[in-house]
Structure 1
């Protein structure tokens, strides 16, 4: 097998495929293909009493039941007309769960690079369901923050504080002096990670993409504040987690270039672990189990644990 050089590796990791679809009108939306298991025609759904308003029922995939979410309703656009038999269910698997998203029309799959995706304008506000914007034939494509959608329907359980309370005193003191940079384009994901770090007494700085993270890290270094760990998402506009990792590893500052990097991703662990090693990350972890993340941080920042 031929060995790829660094430039080839960077190009490969920076590429992704987006499934383009529509909801109630011609506006285009996108989801990373790596999160998708398959697409099936709209089928008869079993209604669930007292369920979340965006949950339209239960579908079956080869005998396995899964929750179907009306994506138009979840995004606050409108209720999808489930009587329209032309609709499709996009079956996704991420954040350790499988679910279906009901959409009106599946368009096509496109190839793009993360640096072709821009962040959403600040004027839109923070509490939105879009993490980035790209273009297809001159038309805007909005990348859906599916993590936020899922978390609002089935919230992530809080961190088990018993783990923090059982930590030896010297480890609590050590964690209190550590600084972690959290990088994620999803506001919901940033809050989840921040709450986990706060629960074990670790200081943190937040960034919404790799480019902003590098700027903040260099600013911290200029004020003699050492960054002990970087927890980064992979799928981000402007600069993705793989590229961020490679940039950090190439940094002329030896202390920074050896910083512990955990790629914290909603993608399948088998995919992320291989690419994490390829780009130079120390480890990868599939989102989102708060105790797993807390344990990973404790292990990285207090090597004597265990």
Structure 2
């Protein structure tokens, strides 16, 4: 099963083209679910499972994989479906999110599919598992639900939005008070973390749930005659979003003379080494991994230092 991901390195060429590849799988029923291939390290038959006392109810236990101990999360139970009973034939998907590695127990892996982000849509209002979805798409007339893994992980290990006192004491932050930023993310958990951090800096937030909505908002301001680079301290955008990803959003910003001077920071759960290359490719000014409030403040300070250099 690990062979399904052998050509991941080639997939970096999709970035900037508003394309992605999803790994499709089933849980406790026939419904198809998916996550981005870039988050997946490997797919394999589950090694011996070791139970843990007082573990979270979504965690089946732990496995040892090449000397590393990984939690195994029942993804079906975590999103409100019936649990999957693990056995020696069980399949796990090993993933990396926000600098942590974990395994998800699934009912079975289907295949990898190459898609355009324009075919990935926000979940409709009133959807039964909308709370755990970031998007939906259709494959061969069947709905595929893209799971908000960040929300699942945050419910198991809650993330803090609290900024350390020493960071808040940075003199440059005096220039942040009353400024405005645009936050772009399809994950409600990530958006909440961003807003919580910005509130501690007295920064006003505008929000968009995908790159296309963000771009339309920016262009709308520009059409009204607003100097958008002066209005916004920065744009902080996720990488993966329905309809338009953060890489394409950055490219569109750089191609619009009215927006090209905006400071754009990529805020993502993808690995740092991958994003270093992609940031340069599409012209982002900065990037950081999600759920690091102190690092987010550092990025704000770096931006402020450009606007208010020491005398």
- Tell me if TM exceeds 0.5: yes
Label 1:125 to 1:295 Cα distance change in 2 as closer, same or farther (>3 A): farther
- Deviation string for 1:218-245 (max 9, x for gaps)? 3445384712200000100101001101
Match of 2:31 in 1: 27
Cα distance in 2 for partners of 1:217, 1:125 equals: 32
Q: CA deviation at 1:14?
A: 1.8
Shift of 1:210: 0.6
Superposed, 1:174-189 pairs within 5 Å as 174-189=175-190
Partner SS for 2:251: helix
Residue 5 of structure 1 is matched in structure 2 by none
Q: CA deviation at 1:149?
A: 0.8
Residue 166 of structure 1 deviates from its aligned partner by 1.2
TM-score (norm 1): 0.89
Q: Tell me if the contact between 2:211 and 2:245 (Cα under 8 Å) persists in the aligned partners.
A: yes
CA RMSD of aligned residues (A): 2.1
1:12 positional shift: 5.3
Tell me the residue number matched to 1:55. 59
Match of 1:38 in 2: 42
The alpha-carbon deviation at position 300 of structure 1 amounts to 1.2
Size of the aligned set, in residue pairs, is 293
| Structure 1: distance between partners of 2:126 and 2:221 | 27
2:209 aligned residue: 208
Does structure 1 retain, via aligned residues, the 8 Å contact 2:15–2:247? Answer: no
Runs of 4+ in 1 over 6 A off after TM superposition: none
Q: Give 3-state SS (helix, strand or coil) of 2:126's partner.
A: helix
Equivalent residues of 1:264, 1:284 under 8 A apart: yes
5+ residue gaps, structure 1: 1-8
In the alignment, is the contact (CA less than 8 A) between 1:161 and 1:199 conserved in 2? no
Using the TM superposition, give the Cα deviation of residue 135 of structure 1 relative to its aligned residue in structure 2, in angstroms.
1.6
Structure 1 residues 123-272: aligned runs within 5 Å: 123-124=126-127, 128-168=131-171, 171-221=172-222, 222=224, 224=226, 226-253=231-258, 256-272=259-275
Where 1:100 maps in the other structure, the secondary structure is strand
Q: Unaligned 5+ residue runs, structure 2?
A: 1-12
Cα distance in 2 for partners of 1:10, 1:276 equals 14
SS at structure 2 position matched to 1:302: helix
Q: Does structure 2 retain, via aligned residues, the 8 Å contact 1:180–1:204?
A: yes
